[in-house]
Amino acid sequence: MNKKIDNFLRRVPDNFVLNKVFSFITSLIYLYIDKKKKNLGRSINPDILYLDSNPLISVYVPTYNRASILKDRAISSVLAQTYKNFEFIISDDGSTDNTEEVVKSFNDPRIRYIRTSRKEYRYPNKSFYHWLSGPVIAANAALKECKGLWTARIDDDDVWTEDHLEKLLKFAINGNYEFVSSHNLVYTPKGKEVRSWRDDPRDPTGIGATQTWLYRNYLNKIEYNIHSWRKSYFSVNDTDLKYRMYKSNVRTGFLEDVTVITKTRPDEDYIGSNAYIQDPDKYEKLYG
């Protein structure tokens, strides 16, 4: 979407009726744009390009003020991968802690650090909206930097199994898929459970959690939607994106293996949106 138009649309008031109308119109716009980008990508990137068993994979992570957990989880698990031919883009969304120092301390040539600004208005400062659309600016900045034949995302508080990239790449090549994902093992206060898209009866996409994604590089052009917070369903930035991939008829495959582990953050009792709901003041102060 045009940047000037996008910035103007961010100022549309937060109103239930306006959000419904706004989301309907933007969904039609994205459907047209996304299909066009996918079709163009297919036309200039034939399937045979993606049969290479050792391509460069672009891994990226959006992050903000989580230097310690980024170091201990995301970075450590990416560098421990059995598959070694990757670049790792760490997109810092204007952190005020020592994120940059921590990233550069690894001194690994595969790591690239980029930084975005938080000066532009994004959306109303509400805790739940930060959960829905918070990583979008940093994630889109990272996508523009990806140079690999394939792209994978990890969140700063997640851990990949050592064979995550190896398994998903092999699965994607063997199935001639454009986009693959897998199961996620989630630790909750009640214990641990394996999760997939099948857990939600309203989800027809066949695509798992964002931390499990691996997809062809031309799909990088289908970016995250900063306005996803206005939607009534598929309103989290990554679920919005996967639904748009589905509506664009991207060829997807789902690997029936666990390749991602998600746990609560050290100072919290809940994961995902529940953490934001339980302590809204904390997140409005942190991100506002």
The amino acid at residue 166 is E
* pLDDT the model gives residue 1: 64
3-state secondary structure at position 126: coil
CA 141 to chain CA mean position, Å:
12
CA 95 to chain CA mean position, Å:
18
Q: By C-alpha distance, which of 114, 135, 113, 111 is closest to 123?
A: 135
* pLDDT the model gives residue 265: 86
Task: With beta carbons less than 8 A apart as the criterion, state whether 61 and 70 touch.
Answer: yes
Give, in degrees to the nearest 5, the angle at Cα 222 between 219 and 19.
Answer: 155
* pLDDT the model gives residue 2: 67
Report the CATH number at residue 21: 3.90.550.10
* pLDDT the model gives residue 190: 77
Domain with 238 in it: 3-287
Is the pTM above the cut of 0.75? yes
CA distance 62 to 34: 22
DSSP characters over 86-106? EEEEEEE-S-SSSHHHHHHHT
Number of domains in the chain: 1
* pLDDT the model gives residue 188: 78
Q: By C-alpha distance, which of 246, 230, 228 is closest to 238?
A: 228
What residues form DSSP beta bridges with 187?
Answer: 192
Q: By C-alpha distance, which of 78, 262, 77, 255 is closest to 183?
A: 255
* pLDDT the model gives residue 276: 76
- Kindly list the averaged pLDDT for each block of 10 residues, start to end, along the chain of length 288: 73 92 94 97 98 98 97 98 98 97 96 95 92 96 98 97 98 98 90 91 96 98 96 96 98 98 84 74 77
Tell me how far CA of residue 38 lies from CA of 26, 79, 118, in angstroms: 18, 30, 30
